[in-house]
Structure 1
């Protein structure tokens, strides 16, 4: 299944992102508001430069099956930027997806971050210094996080044939690389 293939083949990227964002500090409650601002600012740039490109690369049938309208996160992270008094910025390099399969790979990264983001939001809401934080982006699906992830994986696993795995992986790697290198 492509979801397992992606998990295995992007593990090093995932680990690098966790290191970049000091994720370990989230669970030992030493994560600061400045650490959080870094995560939000970087994820904002990722979404700004990828969300519309990904969504417009997906067919109407696929968009419907994935419930894309419910997966839009850019407006949510813009609320987080405003609440944290962060300025909207643009990245110094562009991001392109050459096919629907690459777009699906990139969406895998975003949906995976949403899954992890739910855990982050729960943990940080119990951390001193985060009392007034709203977690619009990380808490976007709330109690529907599990079902939204399950739906995404089901569609991905039934839509992508094995001969296209590397193309989907290419899209995931492109987005991870962008995320890890954006300033």
Structure 2
């Protein structure tokens, strides 16, 4: 659930984030199993469980940090509840979901810039979801009502919300040092996510 976007006239922060994470992004995307013939319905369930194990703690840490710059609507963009709903749709109850392992090696969220770097990764991961949901629907009969809502979490609002996020990033006045903190956090998010999914044995 990761896809690059190319935007003309992107702000310098976005340029720095995109350039700084592009190799990690491509490396992770190549290992995601959504289009692999080896992925079966059980593998898809385990993949979503692994996603939950990363998203739940990183979103909790983000929103508890108090460091997200003003203008980001956390209530509109939080994704963990959708993952929980999908796992319910795939047959897990609350006890089973609460027992799932959580990633503890999270990026340091000690500055507003670091929060922006993490948000860049999480928001960018919403792009291309329609294609993923269509693929899972064709292969396993999974849609937004029975385990596939997270794949296209914003639905028809995806494009507009990505543009709104780019505008939000563009409104942040970060100096060069703060930009590097944002890039470091974004890189840590990509690499940490890949290591976590690898530890859960869900990657190619």
Decide: shared fold, TM above 0.5: yes
Q: Which stretches in structure 2 are left out of the alignment for 5+ residues? A: 1-11
Q: Which SS does the other structure have where 2:139 is aligned? A: coil
Aligned residue number for residue 110 of structure 1: 122
Q: CA separation of 1:35/1:157 partners in 2, compared to 1, >3 Å: closer, same or farther?
A: farther
Which of residues 170, 180, 190 in structure 2 aligns to 1:176?
190
Which of residues 142, 147, 157 in structure 1 aligns to 2:155?
142
On the 8 A contact 1:77/1:137 being kept in 2, the answer is yes
Q: CA deviation at 1:23?
A: 4.2
Aligned residue number for residue 97 of structure 1: 109
TM-score by length of 2: 0.75
Does residue 4 (structure 1) correspond to residue 15 (structure 2)? The answer is yes
Q: CA separation of 1:82/1:131 partners in 2, compared to 1, >3 Å: closer, same or farther?
A: closer
TM-score by length of 1: 0.83
Q: Which stretches in structure 1 are left out of the alignment for 5+ residues? A: none
On the 8 A contact 2:13/2:169 being kept in 1, the answer is yes
On the 8 A contact 1:118/1:145 being kept in 2, the answer is no
Does residue 54 (structure 1) correspond to residue 62 (structure 2)? The answer is yes
For 1:167 and 1:69, locate their aligned partners in 2 and report how far apart those are by CA, in whole Å: 25
Q: CA deviation at 1:24?
A: 4.4
* Bigger shift: residues 85-94 or 158-167: 85-94
On the 8 A contact 1:103/1:171 being kept in 2, the answer is yes
Over the residues paired in the alignment, what is the CA RMSD in angstroms?
A: 2.4
For 2:69 and 2:139, locate their aligned partners in 1 and report how far apart those are by CA, in whole Å: 45
For 1:173 and 1:60, locate their aligned partners in 2 and report how far apart those are by CA, in whole Å: 18
Q: CA deviation at 1:9?
A: 1.5
Relative to total residues, which structure has the larger helix share, 1 or 2? 1
Aligned pairs (5 A) from 1:17-166: 17-25=28-36, 31-59=39-67, 62=70, 65-86=71-92, 87-88=96-97, 89-91=100-102, 93-95=104-106, 96-125=108-137, 127-131=138-142, 133-163=146-176, 164-166=178-180
Q: CA separation of 1:7/1:34 partners in 2, compared to 1, >3 Å: closer, same or farther?
A: farther
How far does the alpha carbon of each residue in 1:125-169 deviate from its partner, in whole angstroms, 9 at most, with x for none?
A: 2x2323464422122211100111111111112214241211111
On the 8 A contact 1:21/1:35 being kept in 2, the answer is no
Q: CA separation of 1:58/1:85 partners in 2, compared to 1, >3 Å: closer, same or farther?
A: same
On the 8 A contact 1:66/1:151 being kept in 2, the answer is no
For 2:184 and 2:174, locate their aligned partners in 1 and report how far apart those are by CA, in whole Å: 15
How far does the alpha carbon of each residue in 1:72-109 deviate from its partner, in whole angstroms, 9 at most, with x for none?
A: 11111011122223543123534231111111111111
